[in-house]
């Protein structure tokens, strides 16, 4: 009871994951599928419509969302492990190793794509989202351990987030970087044939997520988590609107493009992502929420698996007849069917894992921001 005679706010249930983060990551899976199918299967003469243009803009939020949730996962996982062991540095090292695993998996993924689709050796060096996510997770985890207080972590992540955004235009126009080989330049700025993503500014979404993860990790009651998400909704919306307004001001950079390198666009998307976290939380607080089965949570928990298999099923040789051959309506119908197939494969994958575990096989999945951002933060954990 409180001093005023009312009931104390109920504590968070720390035996379960934060389902709204799984749900949000599942939404990111759908956005990813939508973006890739429309890009790969839509006919060229169908791409000039307003609907296609807005569909691509919406689809562009899939990758930032995955990176942002990966950052949240860093802080939640490190915080949980630190409370379990009492050693923040050790917790940081564990999460850092996971980032290294993701970086290694990036090259395994490219090798698979090269073999299955008969790609060139150069495709092994292409910088994709896992190539960015892995090092960014490693850096965020190290920084989490190096800062001794949550205030220090928040300040460090905020500084690094802004640095990644503000340094993107000058790095992309810096002639001194031209001495680097293209495969290395591709990690810093776009290079033809080598780059899908770059550290600047994409890694900034991981650091922004890590900042939000520190805030979420500090909540110890349902009431405190509710208050935090209300503040996130207001702050995220304010950031998005402020960045949008700033985009109309004269740029301080000699060369900057709004859709690729502008800090304003980066901050606008960050604001949208912060608001999305709050919206997902509020959606899960509605009456009748917490169903026994949620397709989006299922896809969110297995998002790394879905990411791994979906690329070849959309862009690979096995579906070559579909490439650039469908109307926009047909491509959207393909998004629906493909999402249902991925959900089914996700369920079958979990069933296979459970049966193998029951048969005595010890399986240790790799956790990443694509599959573990919903890990629960625990207020008290017994030491092993």
Q: What is the 3-state secondary structure (H, E, C) of 235-276?
A: HHHHHHHHHHHHCCCCCCCCCCCCCCCCHHHHHHHHHHHHHH
Task: Quote the pLDDT of residue 360.
Answer: 79
Q: Which two tokens stand for residue 51?
A: 């609907």
Biggest distance spanned by C-alpha atoms of the chain: 71
pTM to 2 decimals?
Answer: 0.90
Q: Is the predicted pLDDT of residue 13 greater than 50, yes or no?
A: no
pLDDT-above-70 percentage for the chain: 89
**Of residues 62 and 370, which shows the higher confidence score?**
62
Q: How far apart are CA 312 and CA 253, in angstroms?
A: 39
Which strand (E) or helix (H) includes residue 80? helix 62-85
Q: Is the predicted pLDDT of residue 325 greater than 80, yes or no?
A: yes
To the nearest whole number, what is the mean pLDDT of the chain?
89
3-state class of 221 per DSSP? strand
Task: Quote the pLDDT of residue 290.
Answer: 66
Q: How far apart are CA 31 and CA 187, in angstroms?
A: 24
Residue among 184, 165, 142, 341 at smallest CA distance from 253: 165
Which residue(s) pair with 137 in the sheet?
none
159-202 residue pLDDT tens: 999 999 999 999 999 989 999 999 999 999 999 888 889 999 99
Q: How far apart are CA 266 and CA 253, in angstroms?
A: 15
């Amino acid at each position: 009871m409180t001093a005023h005679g009312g009931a104390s706010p109920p504590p968070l249930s720390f035996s379960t994951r934060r389902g709204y983060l799984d749900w949000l990551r599942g939404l990111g899976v759908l956005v990813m599928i939508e973006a890739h199918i429309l890009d790969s299967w839509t006919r060229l003469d169908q791409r000039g419509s307003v609907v296609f243009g807005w569909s691509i803009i919406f689809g562009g939020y899939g990758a930032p969302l995955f990176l942002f949730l990966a950052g949240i996962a860093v802080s939640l996982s490190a915080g949980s492990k630190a409370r379990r062991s009492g050693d923040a540095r050790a917790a940081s090292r564990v999460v850092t190793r996971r980032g290294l695993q993701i970086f290694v998996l990036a090259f395994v993924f490219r090798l698979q794509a090269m073999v299955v689709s008969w790609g060139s050796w150069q495709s092994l060096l292409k910088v994709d989202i896992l190539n960015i996510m892995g090092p960014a997770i490693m850096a965020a985890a190290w920084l989490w351990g190096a800062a001794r207080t949550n205030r220090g972590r928040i300040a460090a992540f905020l500084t690094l987030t802004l640095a990644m955004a503000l340094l993107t235009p000058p790095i992309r126009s810096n002639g001194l970087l031209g001495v680097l080989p293209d495969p290395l330049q591709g990690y810093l700025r776009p290079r033809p044939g080598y780059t899908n993503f770059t550290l600047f500014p994409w890694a900034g979404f991981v650091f922004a997520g890590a900042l939000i993860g520190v805030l979420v990790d500090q909540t110890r009651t349902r009431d405190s988590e509710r208050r935090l998400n209300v503040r996130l909704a207001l702050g995220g919306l304010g950031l998005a609107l402020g960045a949008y307004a700033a985009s109309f001001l004269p740029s301080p950079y000699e060369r900057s493009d709004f859709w690729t390198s502008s800090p304003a666009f980066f901050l606008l998307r960050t604001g949208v992502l912060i608001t999305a976290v709050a919206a997902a939380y509020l959606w899960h607080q509605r009456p009748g929420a917490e169903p026994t089965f949620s397709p989006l949570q299922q896809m969110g928990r297995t998002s790394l698996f879905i990411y791994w298999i979906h690329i070849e099923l959309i862009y690979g040789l096995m579906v070559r007849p579909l490439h650039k051959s469908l109307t926009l309506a047909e491509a959207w119908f393909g998004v629906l069917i493909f999402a249902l197939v991925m959900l089914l494969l996700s369920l079958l994958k979990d069933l296979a894992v459970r049966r193998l575990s029951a048969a005595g096989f010890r399986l240790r999945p790799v956790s990443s921001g694509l599959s573990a951002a919903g890990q629960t933060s625990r207020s008290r954990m017994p030491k092993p």
